[in-house]
Amino acid sequence: MATCGEVLVKLLEGYGVEQVFGIPGVHTVELYRGLARSSIRHVTPRHEQGAGFMADGYARVSGKPGVCFIITGPGMTNITTAMGQAYADSIPMLVISSVQSRSQLGGGRGKLHELPNQSALVGGVAAFSHTLMSAAELPGVLARAFALFQAGRPRPVHIEIPLDVLIEEADDLLASTPVKITRAGAAPDAAAQMARLLASAGRPLILAGGGAIDAAAELTELAERLGAPVALTINAKGLLASRHPLLIGSTQSLVATRALVAEADVVLAVGTELAETDYDVTFAGGFEIPGALLRIDIDPDQTVRNYPPKLALVADAREAARALLDALAQSALGQRHDDWGPVRVARLRAELDRQWDGPTCAQTVFLDTVLQTLPDAVFVGDSTQPVYTGNLTFNPEQPRRWFNSSTGYGTLGYALPAAIGAWLGGVDQGHGRPPVVCLIGDGGLQFTLPELASAVEARTPIIVLLWNNQGYQEIKKYMVNRAIEPVGVDIYTPDFIGVATALGCAAEAIDDVPSLRSALLAARARPGPTLIEVDQARWQPTG
């Protein structure tokens, strides 16, 4: 006899699930029945929030949904922060939890791990939350989840299974087959109309977001055909190569870049919310799109939020870009060779280079040194100063190589567990998986510090670059700038080298470019995690 819990594992295998993150408990042991006999690897974090962040990092690198097994009650309250981060950034995550038996739901009888309404609790950070009232519903609700991941705007999905349903006999469900959904193509008439507007533009510009992350080749070709400057959100970094003459970067919070956007007569926004954390990280307002706005998004609701469009197209970003290229090929528009795109972008980038202050330049050298030493690295960041700098100055060569929690939901402690998931989601290119670099501050690291033990246990050779400025320095500066006497920001700083070593990591402190290069090369050669501590006050960018 196969129970509902065993069938669940088989169905997840059918959907190509390779990793599950979770902490077993008395309410979830039936989820684990048969897991050891499956092809799915289980990774145990030290906190359910870590499970969610690992699933998030795994999904961002692999493009596949991250899957978590989470216990009733405290497990679900612990993972909601990670679900909030994934919800804000449209990351596919499947959270499968236990819940009280059907007869006990909402009973208020003081049962172990009881919540009045667990599904309602997580409803605000999930695309949907479903309570499985019989084993027979399992194939259908999984189909709903994976249909969303495959063809819609991907966000966390929560499925809770009552304790009595988990042990139901479900042999007849073993023959269930996974669904495969094709993402929406572009309506030909709408694509043709949009192409005509772009072809007639004198100063076209493209704004691309994380929803366009799989359309790099098509958007690059489209930009070149139009001669359009391209601005990227943080989650879209790498869609254009770093030295591409049309790449603006991710500097839309800066006055000079906003001026360029304001000059455009037609703006094409693809897979972006056009939201505060995409374009206004200073919270100062002032980002305007006076030109005709064209929007492409997989989510119809999103096409009219924040900035109403002249024309919108609901479609997959790659399919829409292909449709626009086809339509432009049929028009009279040839390859543009005027001065608007490359010349204007070069002038902007030169202007921005002259504006960077000393700390920004020092942190840029830090990031560039990492990239030069580990050119195939994936950078996973927290809310910390080098990450804020990199969001402005750093441009990777490929997508899915730079992401962090400093935008969107903006949680601390994300980078360490997300880096573990990112390494597990990497693909061996013939010479091993790409190295994963965790960029985190001393304040943020203390949120999820025990996950260093998870990295050791899971044999994930992540490289933790700890930027130590002895407290919450960005918040302290924010308080001082507003004439608020700093309180609560000068926190105790532990001996991170000692802690990391005690947890089984290699660890060392560095303070200049040569020692950073040496430490990175040594870390890449190790089979387990390494912590490299950089004291902000001692960092010497000239080596």
CATH of the domain at 342: 3.40.50.1220
How far, in Å, are 87, 329, 506 from residue 455 at the CA level? 25, 50, 12
The one-letter amino acid code at 204 reads: P
Q: In what order do the strands lie in the sheet with 41-43?
A: 41-43, 19-22, 66-70, 93-99, 156-162, 128-131
Work out whether the CA dihedral 99, 100, 103, 109 comes out positive or negative: negative
**CATH assignment of the domain containing 56:** 3.40.50.970
Same domain? For 275 and 313 the reply is yes
Residues 79 and 22 in one domain: yes
CA 190 to chain centroid, in Å, comes to 30
**How high is the pLDDT of residue 330?**
85
Q: Are residues 240 and 387 in the same domain?
A: no
SS (H, E, C) 86-130: HHHCCCCEEEEEEECCHHHCCCCCCCCCCCCCHHHHHHHHCCEEE
With contact defined as beta carbons under 8 Å apart, do 205 and 231 qualify? yes
**Confidence at residue 543, expressed as pLDDT on a 0 to 100 scale:** 56
Total number of domains constituting the chain: 3
Q: Burial of 365 by CB count in 10 Å (0-12 exposed, 13-18 middle, 19+ buried)?
A: middle
Complete edge-to-edge strand list for the sheet that includes strand 506-510: 402-404, 378-381, 436-441, 463-468, 530-535, 506-510
> What pLDDT score does 1 carry?
83
Beta-carbon count within 10 A of 138 CB: 22
**Same domain, residue pair 344 and 377:** no
Could you tell me if 145 and 261 lie in one domain?
no
379 and 463 fall within a common domain? yes
Task: Note the pLDDT tens digit of each residue in 469-525.
Answer: 988 988 998 899 999 999 999 999 999 999 999 999 999 999 999 999 999 999 999
90: Cβ contacts below 8 Å, ≥ 6 apart: 153, 154, 155, 210, 211
Q: Do 367 and 277 fall within a single domain?
A: no
Instruction: Assess if residue 60 is contained within a domain.
Output: yes
- The pLDDT assigned to 108 comes to 79
In angstroms, the CA 449 to CA 529 distance is: 13
According to the model, what pLDDT value does residue 114 have? Answer: 81
When computed from its CA atoms, the radius of gyration of the chain, rounded to whole angstroms, is 24
Residues of the chain with pLDDT under 50: none
What is the SS3 assignment for 438? strand
The answer to whether position 183 is within a domain reads: no
Please report which helix (H) or strand (E) contains residue 402, including its range: strand 402-404
- Residue 317 near residue 324, CB atoms below 8 Å: no
Residue 182 within a domain: no
Pair (403, 505) in one structural domain:
yes
15 in helix, strand or coil?
A: coil
pLDDT for 428 equals 81
> Same structural domain for residues 340 and 361?
no
Residue 180 lies in a domain: no
Partners of 43 in the β-ladder: 21
Last residue of a domain, one of 318, 352, 386: 352
Note whether 194 and 312 are same-domain residues: yes
Domain-ending residue, one of 352, 378, 410: 352
- 94, 68 Cβ separation under 8 angstroms: yes
In Å, what is the CA distance from 162 to each residue of 27, 31, 77, 156?
Answer: 9, 11, 17, 20
Please state, in angstroms and rounded to a whole number, the distance separating the CA atoms of residues 291 and 322. Answer: 23
Any bridge partners for residue 293, and if so which? 267
Global pTM value: 0.95
Order of strands across the sheet that contains 204-208 = 247-249, 230-232, 204-208, 266-270, 292-297, 311-314
Q: Which two tokens stand for residue 249?
A: 């970067």
Same-domain check for residues 325 and 248:
yes
Amino acid at 175: A
pLDDT of residue 171: 87
Token digits for 240?
């254009």
Cα(470)–Cα(183) distance, rounded to whole angstroms? 47
Q: Is 449 domain-assigned?
A: yes
**Does residue 181 fall inside a structural domain?**
no
247 and 241 Cβ atoms separated by less than 8 Å: yes
What SS3 state is found at 82? helix
Whole-number pLDDT of residue 336: 63
**The 3-state secondary structure of 305-317, one letter per residue:** CCCCCCEEEECCH
Q: Which of 352, 370, 393 is at the close of a domain?
A: 352
Domain boundaries, position 303: 188-352
Signed CA dihedral, 160, 210, 308, 186: sign only: negative
Where helices occur in 200-294 by DSSP H, the ranges are 216-226, 255-263, 276-279
- Count of CB atoms situated within 10 Å of the CB of 36: 9
Residues 379, 365 within the same domain: yes
Domain assignment present for residue 505? The answer is yes
